[in-house]
Chains A and B, each alone.
Chain A
Amino acid sequence: MTLLAASSSPALPLSVVAVLAALAALSGYALLCAVSPFARCKPCEGNGKTRKRGTSPKRGWKTCRRCKGNGLRLRIGRRLFHTTRATGEATRRLHKAGTR
């Protein structure tokens, strides 16, 4: 209700609210990535096991191929962070080696 009220008020236009909300969501997700880098594995939903197709539910379970039984996957945000940092480091290293 308050959010709606704020959005309707002329002092805070809707676009600003949207940007702020997006920023808040982004920072929240970044914090989540920092504190807990791993999330539940999607195919096995954190079980570590998936159903074999066309078998009975009692014995048709196999280890998840994606997470190899851990039931966890690296969050996309965290993976992004790692790649960007690795690229940055590589770039720095290259720059340092090139300028002597």
Chain B
Amino acid sequence: MNHEELSPADDPSETDRPGESDEGAAVLPFRVRFRKNSAAAPVGEDGSVYVDPDEIELPDDEGTDDEDEGPREGELVDPPPSKDVLTPAEKRAAKSAARKPVLPEWARSTDEFKAVATWAAGHYCMVSAYHAVRAPLYVGKVAVYAPRGAWRWSNGVRRWVFDSEGAPFRAAAARDEDIEEYLKLTRVRNARVRLRLIVATIAATVLIVAGTLLAVALSSFLWWSTVVAVLMLLGQVGMPADQRLIDPARVRFRHRKLSADIVTRAFVAAGLTRPDQGLTFPRPITQEGNGWRVVLDLPFGKTFTHALKAQEQIASGLDAAMTQVFLDRDPSSARRVSMWVAKEDPLAVPVGKSPLITTDRVDFWKPFPWGRDERGNEVMVTMLWLSLLIGAVPRQGKTFSARTIALAAALDPHVRLYVFDGKASPDWRKFDKVAHRIGFGIAPYNGIDPVKVLIAALRELKADVESRYQRLSELPVSVCPEGKLTPELSRNKSLNMPLTLVVVDEVQEYLQHPEHGGEILDLLVYLARVAPAVGVSLETSTQKPDDKACPSVLRDQHQARFSLRVGSWQVSDVVLGAGSYSEGLDASRLLKSHKGVGLLKGMSDDSGIVRTYLVTGEDADRVLTRARALREQEGTLSGSAAGEVQPAGEASDLLADVAAVMPATAAKLWSETVVDRLAELRPEIYGPWAEMEQKAKATQLATALKPYGIETGQVWLKTEDGSNPNRRGVKREEVLAAMAARKRSAS
């Protein structure tokens, strides 16, 4: 910017004017001195001084020249404190804005004042009524406890007057026969007792005289109220320590402001800092949700992990329950702890009904509300591209939390649902309105074996997943840009690739099935491992996912874990994945009252507490009715819900099949012959076996039969050409014995 133009003082045309003008001196602006270089500061059109921001010498710029020279001796190491840049006017404005009103709000407004007064009157009337009703009780209490109080009080006086404090010392001296000591103590005691007797006598005289005078002088009402007061005092003294003469009319809540002093005290008590060291608070303590947010820096060398280990002591130091204190890691420093202290146990507060109950439809491609975290923030989850494992002890809300997710899926008409419930409870029954495949329990009912239905459904899913991969890779890039399922593709009915949710509640019932457990496990592992990538998500729940109920081969394939209350931290680690405990995730700390509350891990980057929304059975029924209507409208009702008879997978019962291919005439058979005959019997299952080499066939059969306790030993048979080689084979009697043993264990 050209200063010459802006500055009228330097304008050559103007300089001539004073000489020419007859009217006296022209008005010239003052030259403003600016900084040391005393260049004329240009003046704007409104007369204000123009300052080019580029020209201002900032204090920070000084010394930049000798930056390369390194620090010099005697120079200050810390940077100079930043100066307050507020102008006096701004300071005044800020201060007047921060002024508090002389009278509080309620005292200034007439309506408010009336409301407060009415409330106060009502409140104290109620308190008075409360005590008036209990007055006879108070009289009884005084009658019982006042004599005891009088006895206690007089005993106290006696002990004081006769120096009972020193009695043990005198007795000790007597016991040790330390006569000198005894005499000394006795002299001290005598002097003391003499003085105290005098005091006590004077006090008693004064009391008696005063009492008599009061009885004469005071009106009878005042006298009796004095007597009552004294009796109440004695009654209070005579009370047991845990009782009170007068019940409080209201329950006093621990509702206090959390201050830095209290926090420091708690951390000192927890051994995380020393009283002389204290804590630093980089941010003031603020309210957040229904609690306080405290950000603090531990002393140097103490870490977040220390704080996590001392969580219980911190809670005790804050005079709060452990479930009220939440410690979060702060990424900016290892010694910084972000702590949230709830005003009441947030997990025991019911979170309320699910918004799904009133939602018309859900887009399963987007996150949907599942619950709230401990601070009341909504937790949105999505089942896309992952499988979820839910674990908890019974009666803790496992099924309900799993069902809320399935309900969200039901409300998206383009999601195909497979629902299987191992314990045949009523919780999942209503899903027959929408589910593609459904089954309850493990026992056959009405001619349908749910286990066979499950096997058929899982095989169907496996085939579907394989074909999805095939078709997705064949689709043109314009339709399927990344070789992944897209919302458009999933909703295209001709492609038949909808998002699919497979729910298996109480999965251990199926996995421990004596006959088909192994195959179900294999299929589930396949689905958990491969299927999420093409839009088939698996949701399983179990009580205690140990190696028998839910083997690690299946457990570890679940990316997302949700653990409600469990028995111990080890079980919590099994559900949530190894190492969760050391991260501070321990579901065994949850209480029995924390129903539907659990720790979620792996759903998003951060893991934490979710209080799942409640959907009761009735509400679920209503939601499912609506979901069915939605599906009918969209024409996506399929499978079981559309009235189709579910295919019952002919269970591949290997033992029975082997027995079937071994006629009673053949006591033993070579493994390869057995495999060939099996492939003829059921090509869809044993077909691949028959394509192997001879040796591999035998090995395959051996491994398949091993779980049943059948070993393939050397079997000597004749071939057609007359030779009689010794090959691996199966004995019929062993197969029959294994079948009998299985039948016994099943019944």
Residues of A at the B interface (CB closer than 8 Å) are 37-38, 67, 70, 72, 74, 78, 82
Contacts and interface: CB of A to CB of B under 8 A. Distances in A.
B174 interface: yes
Interface in B615-654: none
12 contacts: A37-B171, A37-B174, A38-B174, A38-B182, A67-B179, A70-B179, A70-B180, A72-B179, A74-B174, A78-B174, A82-B174, A82-B175
Interface string B177-214: 10110110000000000000000000000000000000
Given A67-B179, A72-B179, A74-B174, 10 more contacts: A37-B174, A37-B182, A38-B174, A38-B182, A70-B179, A70-B180, A70-B183, A74-B177, A78-B174, A82-B175
Contacts of A37: 171, 174, 182
A37 B174 CA distance: 7
A32 B520 CA distance: 92
Contacts of B175: 82
A38 B179 CA distance: 8
Contacts of A74: 174, 177
Interface string B131-172: 000000000000000000000000000000000000000010
A67 B175 CA distance: 15
Interface residues of B, number: 8
- A-B pairs, top 9 by smallest CB distance, nearest first, are A37-B174, A70-B179, A82-B175, A72-B179, A74-B177, A78-B174, A38-B179, A74-B174, A38-B182
Nearest to B171: A37
Nearest to A37: B174
Nearest to A72: B179
Contacts of A70: 179-180, 183
A37 B177 CA distance: 9
B446 to A, nearest CB: 64
A82 B176 CA distance: 9
A37 B185 CA distance: 13
B293 to A, nearest CB: 50
Contacts of A82: 174-175
A67 B179 CA distance: 9
A37 B178 CA distance: 11
A93 B183 CA distance: 31
Nearest to B179: A70
Nearest to B177: A74
A82 B182 CA distance: 15
B162 to A, nearest CB: 11
Contacts of B179: 38, 67, 70, 72
User: In the complex, which of the residues A37, A70, A78 has the most CB atoms of chain B within 10 Å of its own CB atom?
Assistant: A37
B186 to A, nearest CB: 9
Contacts of A72: 179
A72 B186 CA distance: 14
A67 B180 CA distance: 11
Contacts of A38: 174, 179, 182
B475 to A, nearest CB: 78
A100 to B, nearest CB: 29
Interface string B415-457: 0000000000000000000000000000000000000000000
Contacts of A78: 174
A82 B177 CA distance: 11
Nearest to A33: B174
A32 to B, nearest CB: 13
B158 to A, nearest CB: 15
A70 B173 CA distance: 14
Contacts of B171: 37
A70 B177 CA distance: 11
Nearest to A34: B171
A39 B183 CA distance: 12
Nearest to A68: B179
B445 to A, nearest CB: 59
Contacts of A67: 179
B680 to A, nearest CB: 75
User: In the complex, which of the residues B171, B177, B183 has the most CB atoms of chain A within 10 Å of its own CB atom?
Assistant: B177
A38 B175 CA distance: 10
Nearest to B174: A37
B353 to A, nearest CB: 56
